[in-house]
Structure 1
């Protein structure tokens, strides 16, 4: 008698969904992807449904065809994730997704688990921005509270003379979503913990990763990070506390700054993460395989380092003649 293979539904069809689908296949697991673009690259690997995530009729059909839902992009509407959870398990939870979508909620969570953050202030009006700059000082960074990633939705204030320009650049986001002013941190290192928590509460983390960014986009990652054993242990401890606080299921990244010998929380990503790509060849189990295992309730794989690993994040651009031929 044949047994139907489990199906993971993925909201988002980008490179991360593609790599999840590739990791799922050797486990006898299928993936189904929903994305707004017919060109979503995960569609080359898994069945692709082209639909808006807010199209509930399409989401109803999607939910009926999968066993569990996850996502490869944190800006999936939390309301859609909650609506789907009434029909099929969703991991990570809509609550975890909602926290990660709001920079102020995220920083409040970090402080709740004993992880310091740069000084920050919520801003929704020009008067609040002026007050925040007076309190936090410059240099500082004005950011959108929501929908910012890879350096988007940010304006760096180097002096008080930049306040007008910062407000002009981002004020359109102040009313619908709000802004946040953060103190600029002259950090020693950028670090990330890539970790996974299973449906049974089991927790594993890969060795701490050190990252370098260029123009707001990850350029290079190295594991294990060149930090003390004590600092690495503290980073993993905070990641586990975060996972427990959120009752998290799946892989996530906790991004950190090392500043004057201590750790500051920067942000979290409720999904597999670019700074964890090295785990594909560099660890006993990749972040992608362990995310598949976690959301299906399978035993988690070992996260031990195979060898020190270096990852370059090269972003390709098609030459004009090739791009034109493919259009």
Structure 2
């Protein structure tokens, strides 16, 4: 295992080859690193900007062994990578960041909320659901409306359904195909905020300004940052993020989504142990964006500055909205970021635009 900090010219591994892997690889290249991608899709978006690719399933033992041997550190770009794959890498002697524990915790919503409450990061009340009777008991305890989500998988609004009346219990359980689930109490929040934070191997932290998020149909549409918020809220958001990263002995960048209930009261919605969609604004609002920050953290380099030099509105381009590229790419206050995906399916994230609203 190579000593830290990794020297320029070292090789980093990324499990996952989508847009986050692509932007991580681009950031790594700017710092002089080579990147190898492991992804089952040949010629995936990240592979086209990287030094090479292992085309294999995420749990392929031979590919994982080869990746670990070739790289000074291995990371991942999304939280549905099998935790067992990262554990296999670590057990074989590869340096893995973030560690498998963060991945395992984030992949199970009951385990995630249990962990969050244990480290002082409050969440909505919740009830584990394995059977229809569990769902009925949870609804009786939490009241209506309540949100039923599968314990594992599911993102961008998938794998979840609102239960607004006890009579809807059977239909709701059928809608998630009777899978193990979590029932969450409704949160009377004013808005959703998020915070992007990084932690290095020695426990030092760097936290970006808080962003405010707007969703449609469970999918993030816009993040505006820095958010307009009082000092009490900002201090609390930072404290929550730091408690989570310390609790996981985390290395790398993490996204933390928060419900703002007002007067500095925040509840954690969920965590993402990776660079995060709500942090894309940092590419044009900060000297060191979240992608470079993640590379710095896992490579043992000093963490970069997180102060914002501009207020930015980040908007996702979904599906055929990618065809707006021609209109957007000539605007002086807009920077276009495209992901190189071949097919523009409805709701698929094809890129994003950062609109600079003005200096800080």
What TM-score results when the alignment is normalised by the length of structure 2? 0.85
Deviations 1:263-321, CA, capped at 9 Å, x for gaps = 011100000000000101101210000100000101111011011111011113378xx
Q: 2:166 aligns with which of 148, 151, 160?
A: 160
Counterpart residue number, 1:130: 136
Confirm or deny that 1:192 pairs with 2:194: yes
Counterpart residue number, 2:22: 18
Q: Which runs of 4+ in 1 moved over 4 A?
A: none
Q: How many residues align?
A: 316
The DSSP-based 3-state class of the residue aligned with 1:41 is coil
Deviations 1:109-137, CA, capped at 9 Å, x for gaps = 22112222111000001111110011111
Confirm or deny that 1:297 pairs with 2:270: no
Judge which range, 271-280 or 36-45, deviates more.
36-45
TM superposition shift of 1:323? 5.8
1:279-298 to 2 correspondences below 5 Å: 279-298=282-301
Q: Supply the distance in 2 between the matched residues of 1:120 and 1:172 (Cα, whole angstroms).
A: 18
User: What's the C-alpha RMSD, in Å, of the aligned pairs?
Assistant: 1.6
Counterpart residue number, 1:266: 269
Alignment CA distance shift 1:181-1:208 (3 Å): same
Q: Supply the distance in 2 between the matched residues of 1:152 and 1:36 (Cα, whole angstroms).
A: 22
TM superposition shift of 1:4? 7.5
Confirm or deny that 1:216 pairs with 2:218: yes
Segments of structure 2 that go 5 or more residues without pairing to the other structure are 1-6, 324-341, 345-360
Question: Is the 2:38–2:63 contact (alpha carbons within 8 Å) kept by the matching residues of 1?
Answer: no
The DSSP-based 3-state class of the residue aligned with 1:182 is strand
Task: Return the structure number with greater strand share.
Answer: 2
Counterpart residue number, 2:104: 98
Alignment CA distance shift 1:49-1:162 (3 Å): same
Q: Supply the distance in 2 between the matched residues of 1:260 and 1:193 (Cα, whole angstroms).
A: 16
Q: Supply the distance in 2 between the matched residues of 1:224 and 1:117 (Cα, whole angstroms).
A: 23
Question: Is the 2:136–2:166 contact (alpha carbons within 8 Å) kept by the matching residues of 1?
Answer: no
What TM-score results when the alignment is normalised by the length of structure 1? 0.93
Judge which range, 258-267 or 140-149, deviates more.
258-267
Counterpart residue number, 1:35: 39
The DSSP-based 3-state class of the residue aligned with 2:318 is coil
Q: Supply the distance in 1 between the matched residues of 2:68 and 2:54 (Cα, whole angstroms).
A: 12
TM superposition shift of 1:89? 0.4
Q: 2:312 aligns with which of 299, 309, 312?
A: 309
Judge which range, 182-191 or 122-131, deviates more.
182-191
Counterpart residue number, 1:234: 236
Counterpart residue number, 1:83: 88
